[in-house]
A and B are shown apart, each in its own frame.
Chain A
């Protein structure tokens, strides 16, 4: 469980850093958007353990709009800046490494 939490904490930190840079002009970045990034608790299923992280900003879900793209009522254009999925794809080995290191550390104390 500690490995999952450590990996998720790292992912949350990376995601917050990405969102702090803003989307396009930066005018749409709010502290709420950044602070809404959070992880859940580890879940154990018959298929193994997992942990989720995401945005708690759901009303309205502005981060989802930017991630999936939307037609802007103001500009009349399609707007999209992806951060969540690219971050996970690019850093998946890093998070797996954090998970593995934590597991090794815990095993070493047993």
Chain B
């Protein structure tokens, strides 16, 4: 796992965990979701905030949402990690549900600690969205996963005693 001294480090750690987690049976998410020939998706088609155009047939968008202080010291944060998985056409639904299963497995026991950071997942929500109608593409399958995170990151905890 990469460092969690900064937000970028946290994002890298979360994405890496999702893509490389080895399930007890089957392949990791990067294999099932697929990769791009180059660029940000070359290690797995999970993208922060927005995905490139025409990236199909399966891809995902990550969002670290609603970061807010929690607890007395304000060093503790809670947030939601939202993963929206997409596939097109709808015949991809079975494979996309498998991708969501792999995300759930990766986050199920996700805990990370080092000398000054703690990151953990303590809840999850999963919704396979019904087929959308126009102007949305009706052939797209969309699964929304939301993981509740709690973390203490070094860039804030370093001021704990000051």
Contacts and interface: CB of A to CB of B under 8 A. Distances in A.
Interface of A: 60, 65, 68-74, 76-78, 85-86, 89
Interface string B54-73: 10000001000110100000
Given A65-B132, A85-B66, A89-B68, A70 B53 contact: no
Q: Looking at chain B's contact residues, is the secondary structure mostly helix, strand, loop, or mixed?
A: loop
Given A77-B53, A78-B51, A70 B68 contact: no
Interface of B: 50-51, 53-54, 61, 65-66, 68, 84, 86, 88, 129, 132-138, 140, 142, 144
A60 B133 contact: yes
24 contacts: A60-B132, A65-B132, A68-B84, A68-B129, A68-B144, A69-B61, A69-B142, A70-B135, A70-B136, A70-B137, A70-B142, A71-B86, A71-B88, A71-B140, A71-B142, A72-B135, A73-B134, A73-B135, A73-B138, A77-B53, A78-B61, A85-B65, A89-B66, A89-B68
